[in-house]
Amino acid sequence: MIKPHGADTLKPLLVTDAGEHQRLTAEAATLPSLVLSSAAAANAVMLGGGYFTPLSGYMNIADALSVSRDMHTVDGLFWPVPILNLAVDTTAIKGAKRIALRDPNVDGEPVIAIMDVDAIEEFSATEKDAMTEQVFGTLDSSHPGVAVFQAQGNHCVSGNIQVLNLSYFESEFRGTFKTAVEIRDDIAARGWEKVVAFQTRNPMHLAHEELCRMAMERLGADGIAIHMLLGKLKAGDIPAAVRDACIRIMVDVYFPENSVLVAGYGFDMLYAGPREAVLHAVFRQNMGATHLIVGRDHAGVGDFYGPFDAQKIFEQVPEGALDIEIFSADHTAWSKKLNKVVMMREAPDHSPDDYVFLSGTKVREMLGNGIAPPPEFSRPEVAQILMDHYRAEAG
């Protein structure tokens, strides 16, 4: 199986020994505590599950600036996005060397991790802006990732962590949320060697389904891992539970048995386009995938990135920095001429009128009115789940 990034074995930071967990839980009650931002809590979940191997905690300012600027830490580890614990106010932990980190996304703000504090530093406004522009490609506050990142504060609390739980993901998404450790074990149990990962934060329509088939067939893969984001999204995105139901019925009805692994991960969407695409590659390698599908507008939002910027950035990845390979895809849609889904770049004789293509706005309007999109666009079973969702939202 493919090796994890920067290590021979996975490095999950979740404490699984019952005695040690009990001891740390008791200790946490005696420590100064910091309520994390949602983004920092999601970073803890990813660290806990081994997705961010080989990191052992949150980055300091020097590493964060180096990663933002050059996509590597001060010590030379390739990494595309700073993994930070930013806070607006650190008064409660001033001078502390060991602290409890509290989860803002669970009632009562329980302790999610214990941290050995290496440093409490403060980004200057200039540093924070430079980092924002390098990671997101813009300082425009209408970009949802920029707005969230800028609101997290400038205090940087760095150091190693021991993770005590995986937030709300285990209870709310039982059977779907999986750690990198669990996915590697699943891949091994299935006997898969070549595994294609498909990233999604949306329900999958027919074009997505066919893109997965294309990648599997062209790469000669043993299986595909449909890996959905389960964390915080921008307003208007489809809730994770609805997406999960859509994907599962599509897989159950339309894919052969033991050809698809459906799982989710606990992370808040950054909408960082190219940089987030590289982060997706890093943690898909850690979960055991050998290939990642990177399509048009991967991890993007609005018009902030070019349609293929998320593919082009991999040309900047130093040789040998990643073992996972990229399957570069174009937009896929149903061809009226060929009566099948095609990649647009592979149909040079087509005009826009030769495709069945619906805008997101049009699809939402149809679903909200109880009208199923045509079968060339969406499977009827998927459309029904989405229509039920929009009907329930409308009351």
Q: Is 43 a catalytic residue?
A: no
Residue of 357, 24, 304 lying closest to 137 (CA atoms): 304
Contacting residues for 384 by C-beta, under 8 A, at least 6 apart: 372
- Of residues 98, 201, 248, 364, which has the active-site annotation? 201
Which residue among 154, 190, 202, 364 is the active-site one? Answer: 202
Q: Could you count the other beta carbons within 10 Å of the beta carbon of residue 200?
A: 17
End-to-end, the C-alpha distance of the chain in Å comes to 48
Asked if residues 293 and 310 have their Cβ atoms less than 8 Å apart, the reply is no
291 in Cβ contact with 215 (< 8 Å): yes
Token pair belonging to 131: 């980092």
Return the structure tokens found at 152: 């997290």
d(CA 222, CA 209): 16
| 213 counts as catalytic | no
Rounded CA Rg of the chain: 21
Q: Let me know the angle formed at the C-alpha of 374 by 258 and 306, rounded to the nearest 5 degrees.
A: 80
Please tell me the distance from the alpha carbon of residue 238 to that of residue 304, in angstroms, as a whole number: 21
DSSP code for 352: G
Q: To 5 degrees, how large is the angle CA 14–CA 179–CA 149?
A: 80
- Euclidean distance between CA atoms 38 and 152, whole angstroms: 9
- Whether 114 and 29 have beta carbons less than 8 Å apart is answered as no
As a whole number of angstroms, the distance between CA 93 and CA 71 comes to: 30
- Six-digit token pair at 93? 């932990």
SS3 258: coil
Active-site residue list: 201-202
